[in-house]
Homo-oligomer: A and B are copies of this chain.
């Protein structure tokens, strides 16, 4: 995407757009599926039918060969260069739980952990304590005070929490304290640049005080902080592309990224709620982001059968999505999560673009293979937003 150009061409008028993102959509041919990809193996009559009326292609989330985290991958398909707009893990955690983070806040992803008597980490997840226990411990840690710095400790799920430091001049150039594997000691937070000395000292003091407050606990007798990130102002999709945007996502992380780019985060907690939210949002919004997680979870688990089932479940939901009346529907993923790798990967991500003037009739199914030779070609993830906007008639001509 040409920075600045798409913004200058956005008219604010035109049709409505539904972007349905199947997380971790792309995959590789798998032995358990007879050499087919999950998309090839799944029975998806609704997607197939839509593919015949759509233009297909594939996007490269960040850059060829680069495996993206969920944050950068979503920013890319929302039209944000994910290198220019790097968002650290801590900010994503804070946004994901709906924490009202402010510019300048320093956020970190936290794990409760188990340490032995010699302060070695024996379990980086503290036996995955319950979310209720987590909340109780977070409440206790809120008593920690550091002069000049306000501290927030917020539970996520199981052993996961988020710590936010609010104060003047807190740089995020602080090294991680999580050793990354059991059997090692917690790492001391270090200032990676001179300006981060104050922040590193605050993190160090917080950890020492949390050790005291957790000393009588088991298994959660310690805390690991990583992904330090300072909240920077972010231009909204509304101001950039002149769309009124909303997000129907269940998982905190994706609600967080959507909120970061200024989308209204719709109330929903399951697939049925998401579909209702998408339908209702048609009134008053130009752009709705629908997030579907099971394709990624099953890929991460290496569960081919579950990924096929997830795709078929999306296919079953497609008529409901299609009937909401959005002028343009884009179906894609944020990145690939091949079952054989059980990880995110760098492979191109299938794209289907339906509605508006398209080169249709070339494809019979929505698969990696058909997308690789589709009408849209292979393009950077950041080009997806301009393609959706253009399809909806929301971009004016450039030049005379």
Contact = CB atoms under 8 A, between A and B. Distances in A.
Interface of A: 1-2, 5-6, 9, 28-29, 35, 37, 58, 60, 62-72, 82-83, 86-89, 92, 109, 227, 338, 340-341, 343-348, 357-362, 368-369, 372-379, 383, 385-391, 395-400
A347 to B, nearest CB: 7
B71 A400 contact: yes
Contact of A65 (B63, B92, B360, B387): B387
A399 B71 contact: yes
14 contacts: A5-B63, A5-B83, A29-B361, A64-B379, A65-B395, A66-B386, A71-B399, A71-B400, A82-B398, A109-B400, A340-B357, A359-B372, A376-B378, A378-B378
Given A60-B377, A346-B386, A377-B378, 13 more contacts: A65-B385, A65-B390, A68-B398, A69-B398, A69-B399, A69-B400, A72-B399, A82-B398, A87-B399, A340-B357, A346-B390, A359-B369, A373-B373
Contact of A67 (B2, B35, B395): B395
Given A71-B400, A357-B340, A359-B28, A64 B1 contact: yes
A271 B6 CA distance: 37
A383 B82 contact: no
B398 A66 contact: yes
Given A71-B400, A397-B67, A375 B372 contact: yes
Nearest to A55: B347
Nearest to A378: B377
Nearest to A63: B2
Nearest to A67: B397
Contact of A368 (B37, B359, B386, B391): B359
Nearest to A58: B377
